């Protein structure tokens, strides 16, 4: 099969012919029809995130946003058969630990991310091996195609779970900091739930797209004081702030823009500049009883609600797809990400 591999950090990926994966007794092999090119893949290519264990030994095939068809299953797989249309959460889980049994496998004690940890190849390839298939595979509704599944794969489901973690209610003011893939996803979800969304970014084009996805107001952080602008728009501050980027400025802007008893949801992981640490206004958080909440991925059981909203047409992840690309074009996408030129999801749909 053909696969695009990271051979060296910050060097072009190589398209190679490699062996097709073979399933073990509890595994499945998926023929990939669509795989998103995520900024998390770009971070792996950059060599970031070693401080959280996401710096895989190279070479590796990246890619963790995909949809496709079951090609082959192991002898002990009971719930899936060849021909089934499926996706997976980007976080592969064991299904047996305390957190998996509690219904939060996104916090699995043996959590692994496709294409971001050594030994778990990703989806920039024609086929992919899914371990513990009965637990990790998610069956797609009849009217949700693989392209939509790829759009959901990481950024959209992460934005969805972030809004859920924010306990967003109809009428709430929700400020989303960063109008990239995760941010636009969160905006679309919050709007569908009846919230009033403010999009914050430094790119007017991205802010215009945010309006199309339901933002009722926008703030250009390069031109305005974010906290002052949001407090003026909301007459007191946002009920929920969601940081989709993970840089120091967006974290602090979100926290400082909240009203009393507001909730900050941290979705974006930090860059090499922060190295996992950001100073916070602790006295403000204490005095205003602000909550600081982490949010990772989307638990497997919550896919039922997410896919139901998509199947019914209330959510439309496919609308965030900027373009479909060939496997050989991933280097161009990575270059565009380096220059912050991408305006939505880029999805690999051609592998030969």
Q: Output the pLDDT for position 50.
A: 81
Measured CA to CA, the distance from residue 102 to residue 108 in angstroms comes to: 10
Cis peptide before 59 (omega within 30 of 0): yes
Start-to-end CA span in the chain (Å): 9
Model pLDDT for residues 162-184, shown as the tens digit of each residue: 999 999 999 999 999 999 999 99
Q: Look up the pTM and report it.
A: 0.94
* Residue 102 contacts residue 113 (beta carbons within 8 Å): no
CATH of span 2-154+298-350: 3.90.180.10
Model pLDDT for residues 316-333, shown as the tens digit of each residue: 999 999 999 999 999 999
Identify the CATH class of 167-294: alpha beta
Two structure tokens written together for 226: 């974010």
Q: Which residues pair with 69 in a beta bridge?
A: 31, 85
* Residue 261 contacts residue 290 (beta carbons within 8 Å): yes
Q: Where in the chain is the domain with CATH 3.90.180.10?
A: 2-154+298-350
Q: Where in the chain is the domain with CATH 3.40.50.720?
A: 167-294
Helices (H) and strands (E) in the chain, counts: 12, 17
Residue stretches of the chain with pLDDT short of 70: none
């Amino acid at each position: 099969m053909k696969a695009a591999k990271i051979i060296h950090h910050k060097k072009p990926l190589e398209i190679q012919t490699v062996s097709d994966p073979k399933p073990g007794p509890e595994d499945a092999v998926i023929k990939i029809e669509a795989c998103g090119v995520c900024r998390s893949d770009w971070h792996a290519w950059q060599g970031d995130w070693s401080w959280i264990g996401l710096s895989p030994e190279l070479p590796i095939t990246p890619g963790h946003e995909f949809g496709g068809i079951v090609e082959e299953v192991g002898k002990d797989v009971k719930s899936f058969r060849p021909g089934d249309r499926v996706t997976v959460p980007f976080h592969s889980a064991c299904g047996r630990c305390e957190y998996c049994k509690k219904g939060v496998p996104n916090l699995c004690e043996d959590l692994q991310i496709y294409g971001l940890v050594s030994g778990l190849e990703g989806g920039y390839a024609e086929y992919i091996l899914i371990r513990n298939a009965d637990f990790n595979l998610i069956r797609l509704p009849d009217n949700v195609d693989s392209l939509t599944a790829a759009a959901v794969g990481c950024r959209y489901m992460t934005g969805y779970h972030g809004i859920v973690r924010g306990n967003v209610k109809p009428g709430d003011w929700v400020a989303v900091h960063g109008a990239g893939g995760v941010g636009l996803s969160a905006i679309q979800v919050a709007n569908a739930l009846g919230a009033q969304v403010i999009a914050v970014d430094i790119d007017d084009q991205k802010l215009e797209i945010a309006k199309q996805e339901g933002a009722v107001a926008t703030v250009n952080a390069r031109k305005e004081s974010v906290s002052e602008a949001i407090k003026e728009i909301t007459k007191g501050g946002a009920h929920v702030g969601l940081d989709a980027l993970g840089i120091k400025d967006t974290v602090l802007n979100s926290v400082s823009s909240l009203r009393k008893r507001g909730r900050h949801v941290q979705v974006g992981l930090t860059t090499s500049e922060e190295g996992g640490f950001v100073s916070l206004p602790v006295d403000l958080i204490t005095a205003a009883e602000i909550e600081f909440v982490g949010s990772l991925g989307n638990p497997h059981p919550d896919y039922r609600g997410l896919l139901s909203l998509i199947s019914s047409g209330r959510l439309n992840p496919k609308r965030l797809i900027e373009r479909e690309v060939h496997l050989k074009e991933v280097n161009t996408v990575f270059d565009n990400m380096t220059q912050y030129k991408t305006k939505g999801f880029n999805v690999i749909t051609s592998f030969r």
